[in-house]
Amino acid sequence: MKRFSKTTLAAATSLSTAMLAGQAHAAGFALMEKDATGLGQAFANLATGNGESSGLVGNPAAMTQIDGTAVSGGVNYIIPSFELQPGATSTGVAGPVSGGLGGDAGESAAIPNASIVHQLDEKTRVGVALTVPFGLATDYDDGWLGRYHAQESHIEVIDISPSFSLDITPEWTVGASFNVQRAEARLSSAINSSAAAGGAPLPDGSVEVEGDDWSVGYSLGVLWQATEDTRLGLAYHSGVEHDLTGDADYTMPAPLNASPLFADSWAEAGLDLPATAAASLTHDFSDTLTGSFGLLWTGWSSFDELRVEQSYGRESVTTENWDDTLRVAVGGEWEFAPRWTLRAGAAYDPTPVPNNEFRTARLPDSDRTWASLGLGYEISKQWSVDVGYTHIWFNDNSVDNTTESLLPNNLRGQYQGKVDIIGVQLNAHF
């Protein structure tokens, strides 16, 4: 019976790993895609604003750039690709595990955003934004060789941010947001029934975990208009602690389906979203040319372990040991013709995963390089539209991960990964 318990916990732990995984658009599991306007220059101006209401997401103090009322809404369509390369192996206590390479595990997704900012008086503005700051959608082919590590994963964190800004002086603005978040997850994995039964030939079982939670955080920002042509922005977004609660549903062959250790139950796992700090410097080189330099620190070191609990006293811990990261971006925009703006940017985004032993099939994360382009068109005095495109290259993302259980399974191999992002944004000023 103890062997059953460890196998069950290993499956639950494998699933919970996905709760803290992302679709690999920013390092770790964060989604950078706050709007298509910033996408065009790789979000180098994240903390200095973009002149639209969507700028409040990166820095609530950037609302000072809005006169009257501004509204923005858009969608970024994300096309990720994760493919395990030939030569990969999977090995358990009973020897090699057979199966295919899993196909392309990347699942495309549309990430929406919306925001509105209203000027109350000469110095004060309020606003609210809706974004998806974290997300995951991966799915491997049935029967693939890493099925005991991951099968299907879906996670979404929706953030609603009521915001406020105040001009302290003509040069200095401060802002704050109250971040209300809903997180939900649906995750599945195969279970090695034969190993759980002590070697008896049995078909694989499976487990699916679903959970959700509401939680809150905050954001603080400052914007300094150092000169007529230069501004500096700083923003801090607090970490948010979620306690996902839901159900674990098992499908097991006989006789394992009679064991309480594989019985359907409640499930609970912590999801601690990291704090971030952003800094951007933007300079107007002329009336038509602007450049930005941005840094984004993410406190991934808070993600040191995963703890999963189920009924019957089942609990498991998986070591992660992630590192903090510092993303570097440069970008700019050029008003090359009346009503037309061209944007471009590049970024280097290091992974928080310390080495291939901690890299998982849920998220074969690695250092990545961004190249971005964007185009803006002023439809009228009130309306404008922006489109953006980004391609992300992944560096070496080898996997040599072993599940922590009495019946460990090792997945070893090399992934090829890339992401394409296409975004469109509609803006209005009244």
Would you kindly state where each structural domain of the chain is located, as residue ranges? 2-429
- Cβ-based neighbours of 4, under 8 Å, separated by 6 or more: 196, 256, 259, 261, 262
* Residue-wise pLDDT tens digits, 240-261: 999 999 998 999 999 999 988 8
Q: Which tokens go with 152?
A: 């299907």
Q: H or E stretch including 15?
A: helix 2-19
Tell me the C-alpha to C-alpha distance, in Å, between residue 98 and each of 139, 196, 341, 404, 413. Answer: 18, 17, 53, 20, 14
Q: Where are the alpha helices (DSSP H) in 78-224?
A: 193-196
Q: Averaged over 107-136, what is the pLDDT?
A: 94
* Domain over 2-429 is classified CATH 2.30.140.10: no
Strand partners, 52: none
Is 29's pLDDT higher than 90? no
How far apart are alpha carbons 370 and 419 in whole angstroms?
9
**DSSP letter at 146?**
T
Is 3's pLDDT higher than 50? no
Q: What is the pLDDT of residue 26?
A: 63
Q: What is the pLDDT of residue 12?
A: 38
Looking at every residue in the chain, the average pLDDT score rounds to 88
- Cβ-based neighbours of 193, under 8 Å, separated by 6 or more: 202, 203, 204, 205, 252, 253, 256
What confidence tier does 320 reach under pLDDT thresholds 50, 70, 90? confident
- Cβ-based neighbours of 211, under 8 Å, separated by 6 or more: 19, 184, 185, 244, 245, 246, 247, 267, 268, 269
Is 6's pLDDT higher than 50? no
Q: H or E stretch including 47?
A: none
Q: What is the pLDDT of residue 308?
A: 74
Pairing of strands 172-191, 205-224: antiparallel
Query: Which range has the worst mean pLDDT, 289-293, 343-347, 417-421?
Result: 417-421
* Residue-wise pLDDT tens digits, 156-214: 899 999 999 999 999 999 999 999 999 998 888 898 998 888 888 899 999 898 899 99
The closest alpha carbon to 410, from 205, 200, 148, belongs to 148
φ, ψ for residue 8, nearest 5 deg:
-60, -45
Q: H or E stretch including 157?
A: strand 152-167
- Asked if 11 and 189 touch (Cβ cutoff 8 Å), the reply is yes
**DSSP letter at 29?**
T
Estimate to the nearest angstrom the gap between the alpha carbon of 381 and the chain centroid.
Answer: 35
Residue labelled with tokens 């959608």: 137
The closest alpha carbon to 395, from 362, 423, 353, belongs to 353
Tell me the C-alpha to C-alpha distance, in Å, between residue 410 and each of 57, 72, 305, 417. Answer: 40, 47, 19, 21
- Cβ-based neighbours of 357, under 8 Å, separated by 6 or more: 400, 401, 402
The closest alpha carbon to 364, from 77, 116, 102, 183, belongs to 102
Q: Averaged over 85-114, what is the pLDDT?
A: 91
- Cβ-based neighbours of 36, under 8 Å, separated by 6 or more: 74, 75, 76, 374, 386, 387, 388, 423, 424, 425
Q: Which tokens go with 282?
A: 């933007």
Secondary structure (3-state) at 14: helix
* Residue-wise pLDDT tens digits, 42-93: 999 999 999 999 999 999 999 999 999 999 999 999 999 989 999 999 998 8
Q: What is the pLDDT of residue 209?
A: 87
The closest alpha carbon to 194, from 148, 151, 149, belongs to 148
Q: What is the pLDDT of residue 121?
A: 95
